[in-house]
């Protein structure tokens, strides 16, 4: 699928993400090195650190937030209405066209 990720320097990257590797958005950001090692995915995708927070700017229909994700975002910094945790967004065909901006490093 094609998605767009704006990094923390404001640079927009057009990415082709695989849907057959059970990857989530945080892992895509890491594999394309769109954020320095150690600044994203710190908890390993457990919805426990918010380092993978991003702002969703497309009207893509995302899966509902889980309780863990909601709880983490309720105590994270720089949270906006369109905040989600990248590690909780799986790369599925439905995510085609997704556009996100990475939240500032927390």
Q: Going residue by residue from 8 to 47, which x/- string records binding to ligand FES, judged by CB under 6 A?
A: ------------------x--------------xxx-xxx
Calpha distance 71→98 (Å, rounded): 23
Binding ligand FES (rule: CB under 6 A), the pick from 87, 91, 98, 103 is 87
Smallest distance, ligand FES to C-beta of residue 81, A: 18
Minimum distance from residue 61 beta carbon to ligand FES (Å): 20
**Which residue number is nearest to ligand FES in terms of Cβ?**
87
CB of 52 to ligand FES, least distance (A): 3
φ and ψ at residue 39, rounded to 5 degrees: -110, -5
**Collapsing DSSP states into helix, strand and coil, what is residue 100?**
strand
Among 27, 29, 51, 83, binds ligand FES (CB under 6 A): 51
d(CA 57, CA 12): 12
Residues 4, 46: Cα–Cα separation, whole Å: 23
Residue 2: partners with Cβ closer than 8 Å, 6 or more residues away:
14, 15, 16, 17, 96, 97
Task: Please report, as ranges, the residues that interact with ligand FES according to CB under 6 A.
Answer: 26, 41-43, 45-52, 72, 85-87
């Amino acid at each position: 699928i094609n998605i767009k990720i704006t990094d923390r320097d404001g640079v927009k990257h057009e990415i082709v993400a695989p849907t057959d590797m059970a990857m989530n958005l945080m892992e895509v950001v890491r594999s394309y090195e769109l954020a320095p090692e150690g600044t994203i995915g710190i908890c390993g995708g457990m919805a426990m650190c918010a380092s993978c927070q991003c702002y969703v700017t497309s009207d893509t229909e995302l899966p509902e937030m889980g309780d863990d994700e909601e709880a983490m975002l309720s105590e994270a910094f720089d949270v906006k209405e369109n905040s989600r945790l990248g590690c909780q967004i799986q790369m599925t065909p439905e995510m085609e066209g997704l556009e996100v901006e990475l939240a500032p490093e927390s």
